[in-house]
Amino acid sequence: MCGDGDGLPTLRCIIGAHLWRMRQGMAGCSIGEVLHVEIEKRLEALGLMLPEPMKGPPGARLPFVNVRVWEGRAFVAGHAPLDPDGSIAGTRGKVGAEVSLDQGYAAARQTALAILGSLKRELGDLDRVAAWLRVFGMVNVAPGFNQPPAVINGFSDLILELYGEEAGRHARSAVGMAVLPFDIPVEIEAEVAIRS
């Protein structure tokens, strides 16, 4: 099977598939087309779980979908860091005051898991994500805190760890906000390309 062993069989498999397609008069194929990344296996190996769908605070009206699929892309609404049961994670407040930089980084990582959970529910399979295109990270900051990119790295680092450079590398903004909903420290939205 492709991918077994020390990497050499994987390389042979990719080259073989590429050459076969060329002989058939078809376009060559990229690594991403030949190999399935098996994201859920990677999550399991890292000891990570996808949370349940978000349970909004009592009385909160949220009239939108978490993921909207349109013409080969999935547009992901802003997500908060979640605990495994889908409740908003306990770390609340402004990064640089009540929340440390390390706690903010961890919250951004939790937000990545929340987004992956929503994508799995919508797409059925996280391997359908062909590429992470754009990420917009918002950080609830105390006055003078100027390190939102270091916080949102918690999200980016996990996506790159799971998907690798080819599919995981994304364009990104990381900005500080005066306030975020429900006093969460981080909110992140994204756009991904998907396989049919």
pLDDT beyond 80 at 12: no
Tens digits of residue pLDDT in 114-149: 999 999 999 999 999 999 999 999 999 999 999 999
* E strand intervals along the chain: 67-70, 73-79, 129-140, 171-177, 186-194
- pTM for the predicted model, two decimal places: 0.82
% of the chain beyond a pLDDT of 90 = 77
CB 192 within 8 A of CB 129: yes
DSSP character for 127? G
For residues 23-44, give the mean pLDDT. Answer: 63
122 compared with 12, residue with greater pLDDT: 122
pLDDT of residue 9: 39
- In the chain, CATH 3.30.1330.40 covers 67-194
- Tell me which CATH code domain 67-194 carries: 3.30.1330.40
Which residues have CB under 8 Å from 169's CB, separation 6+?
132, 160
Phi, psi for 134 (deg, rounded to 5): -145, 140
163 compared with 11, residue with greater pLDDT: 163
DSSP character for 142? -
Q: What is the mean pLDDT of the chain?
A: 87
